[in-house]
């Protein structure tokens, strides 16, 4: 089974993406949160993957971090929750939001997700109340683009020296490089990356 994919982001759509790994394009369904964290095509990225095998299909689901993947697995244990509804919940609520909503018995926040009605929300609250507290809440870090050399790597190093975490720095540098070019001078990349980090 696949645990992760590392390759070029070839296509981004509303609910899925294509990751090109050595010439093979893998169709990966994902939450809007994960898709928003991916760099623009054709940048390089690594995505955590959950594989589902059925008689008629093999489906890949991608995640920004282990917290989102763990929540996807847990949500699937609830009767009436399939992969589509689980991704809808993860698109609407972060892992941290899910922990808080379930702990508070907040049915309304769960029903904001497509495919989750009042009855399913009640089932989610009752079946996950005991388990939610032990679940990871995530760091809020985006999928980390793979940056290994050149001006982008120097820029990441500079941001780390300024006190930013790698999970913050690398996505910001990747977005800045996509805008001004990966071969831009390091000084320009640092300025543009700091602007990215300052965005709300």
**Residue that is last in its domain, among 63, 86, 113:** 63
pLDDT digits (tens, 9 = 90+) for 82-118: 999 999 999 999 898 999 899 889 999 999 999 999 9
Residue 144 lies in a domain: no
User: Rounded to an integer, what is the distance from CA 130 to the centroid of its chain?
Assistant: 25
Q: What share of the chain is helix, strand, coil (3-state, %, to 5)?
A: 50, 20, 35
CATH code (residue 128): 1.10.150.20
Task: Classify residue 145 by its DSSP letter.
Answer: B
What local confidence, expressed as pLDDT, does residue 140 receive? Answer: 46
Reported as a pLDDT band with limits 50, 70 and 90, residue 26 is: very high
**Rounded (5°) CA angle 199-145-67:** 80
Q: How confident is the model at residue 142, as a pLDDT?
A: 41
pLDDT of residue 82: 96
Give helix then strand counts, H and E, for the chain: 9, 5
* Residue 139 domain flag: no
What pLDDT was estimated at residue 163?
A: 86
Lowest mean pLDDT among 49-58, 120-129, 151-160, 177-186: 177-186
pLDDT digits (tens, 9 = 90+) for 153-173: 888 888 888 888 776 787 788
Q: What is the mean pLDDT of the chain?
A: 87
Highest averaged pLDDT of the listed ranges 125-129, 134-138, 160-164: 125-129
For residue 155, which of 138, 130, 136, 175 has the smallest C-alpha distance?
Answer: 175
Would you call 133 exposed, middle or buried from its count of C-beta atoms within 10 A (0-12, 13-18, 19+)?
exposed
Do 52 and 71 have their domain in common? no
Whether residues 127 and 72 share a domain: the answer is yes
pTM for this entry: 0.69
CATH of the domain at 162: 1.10.8
As for how many domains the chain has, the answer is 3
Mean pLDDT of 123-142: 78
Given CA atoms 75, 77, 81, 82 in this order, what sign does their dihedral have? Answer: positive
Q: Is the separation of the CB atoms in 173 and 147 below 8 Å?
A: yes
Q: How many percent of the chain have pLDDT more than 90?
A: 49
Same domain as 193, residue 161: yes
Beta bridge partners of residue 11, listed in sequence order: 18
Same domain, 54 and 76: no
Say what the pLDDT of residue 150 is: 80
CATH code of the domain containing 24: 2.40.50.140
Are 15 and 72 part of one and the same domain? no
123 and 94 part of one domain = yes
- Name the residue range of residue 24's domain: 4-63
Predicted pLDDT of residue 182: 67
Query: What is the arithmetic mean of pLDDT over 116-129?
Result: 95
Residues 57 and 71 in one domain: no
């Amino acid at each position: 089974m696949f645990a992760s994919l590392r390759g070029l982001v070839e296509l981004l759509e509303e609910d899925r993406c294509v990751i090109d790994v050595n010439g093979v394009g893998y169709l990966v369904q994902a939450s809007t949160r994960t898709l928003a964290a991916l760099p623009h095509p054709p940048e390089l990225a690594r995505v955590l993957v959950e594989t589902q095998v059925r008689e008629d299909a093999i489906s890949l689901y991608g995640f920004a971090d282990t917290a989102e993947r763990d929540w996807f697995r847990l949500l699937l244990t609830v009767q009436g929750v399939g992969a589509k509804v689980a991704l809808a919940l993860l698109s609407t609520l972060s892992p941290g939001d899910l922990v808080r909503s379930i702990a508070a018995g907040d049915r309304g926040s769960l029903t904001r997700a497509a495919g989750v009605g009042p009855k399913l929300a009640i089932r989610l609250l009752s079946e996950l109340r005991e388990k939610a507290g032990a679940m990871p809440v995530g760091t809020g870090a985006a999928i980390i683009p793979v940056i290994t050399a050149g001006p982008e790597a120097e820029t990441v190093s500079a941001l780390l020296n300024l006190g930013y975490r790698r999970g913050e720095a690398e996505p910001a540098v990747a977005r800045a490089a996509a805008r001004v070019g990966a071969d831009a001078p390091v000084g320009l990349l640092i300025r543009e990356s700091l602007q990215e980090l300052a965005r709300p």
